[in-house]
Amino acid sequence: MKDIYNQIIENTKKISVEQEYFSLPEIENAEVKIEDLEATGSTLLKRRYIIENEDGKIEIMYESKDKCRVHQINPDWNKVEIIFTDKNGKIESFTDGWSDKM
């Protein structure tokens, strides 16, 4: 599970640099649940990913927010929070944010 966590972080860093939408890399040997949450206000998309197996759990919160103001066009803001809890209860986390390409 730690390898999956590190793979997701590396993928997120790459997406951040490329200013793309968040997506999960190919994940094997774990159950992946995707839950769309209510998006309110400036939030365009809010999604929770839960990845679990016998070695631990990874929870990812992804949000895409509208940064537009009246009569302005701005790229959307993306935020990803990744929390890894191993089977012994040890917790690690990673957060990143970026603007979409214009």
How confident is the model over 52-81, as a mean pLDDT? 84
What are the pLDDT digits (tens) for 4-51?
999 999 999 999 999 888 999 999 889 999 999 998 888 889 999 999
Instruction: Determine the Cα–Cα distance for residues 36 and 53; give it in Å rounded to an integer.
Output: 21
Assessment of whether the complete model's pTM goes beyond 0.85: yes
* Residue 93, pLDDT score: 98
* Residue 102, pLDDT score: 64
Residue 13 lies in a domain: yes
For residues 101 and 58, the model is more confident at 58
Residue 38 lies in a domain: yes
**How many alpha carbons fall within 13 Å on the CB side of residue 17?**
5
What are the strands of the beta sheet with 77-86, ordered from one edge? 31-36, 43-53, 56-65, 77-86, 91-99
How confident is the model over 67-90, as a mean pLDDT? 82
Residue from 78, 85, 92, 84 nearest 23 by CA: 78
Count of structural domains within the chain: 1
Is 15 strand, coil or helix?
Answer: helix
Residue 25 lies in a domain: no
Share in percent of the chain as helix, strand, coil (round to 5)? 15, 45, 40
- Give residue 79's identity as a one-letter amino acid code: K
Structure tokens of 101? 């390409």
Q: Which domain does 91 fall in, by range?
A: 2-20+30-99
Residue 37 lies in a domain: yes
